Amino acid sequence: MALKKTVANKTAALSTLPVSGFKPYKPKKGEEYMSEAQHQHFREILLAWKRELMEEVDRTVDHMKSDAANFADPADRATQEEEFSLELRTRDRERKLIKKIDESLNLIENDEYGYCEACGVEIGIRRLEARPTATLCIDCKTLQEIKEKQLSA
């Protein structure tokens, strides 16, 4: 029984998309990899993800404008500055992610999306659904991480 739950949990985790409201793509029998329907599926995911990130940026700006206060107590001021600093770091990471999303959208427009930039093989629909901005197949990504680990050791 525990094995069935583990398999079910792994299956649920594999079908999790970075943007809510999207269902995993089910290729039709004989459908070519990165068909127009698949391009459209990933275009919609990427645009929705970008929209969510942009909305978060707007919320942060509004929050920082409305909650900015000149506290007399240095501890309160330091707490607020640290909170704002953390939010700005998060937004900076999201800004970089938005750039990757834009690059992925350009790859779709140029019919280059879904193929490994290192070896040229198909990245795979499930991997792209888990990480729509992926540019490397799982083998090349694993190799890259191993090399990075060796260089940092």
Q: 41-84 pLDDT, tens per residue?
A: 999 999 999 999 999 888 888 877 777 777 788 888 888 889 88
Query: In this model, does residue 86 exceed pLDDT 60?
Result: yes
CATH superfamily to which 32-113 belongs: DksA, coiled-coil domain (1.20.120.910)
All CATH 1.20.120.910 domain ranges of the chain, comma separated, are 32-113
Query: In this model, does residue 153 exceed pLDDT 80?
Result: no
Residue type, 26: K
- How would you label 4-29 residue by residue, b for 16+ Cβ within 10 Å and e otherwise? eeeeeeeeeeeeebbbeebeebeeee
Q: Are 138 and 126 in contact (CB under 8 A)?
A: no
Model's pTM, two decimal places?
A: 0.78
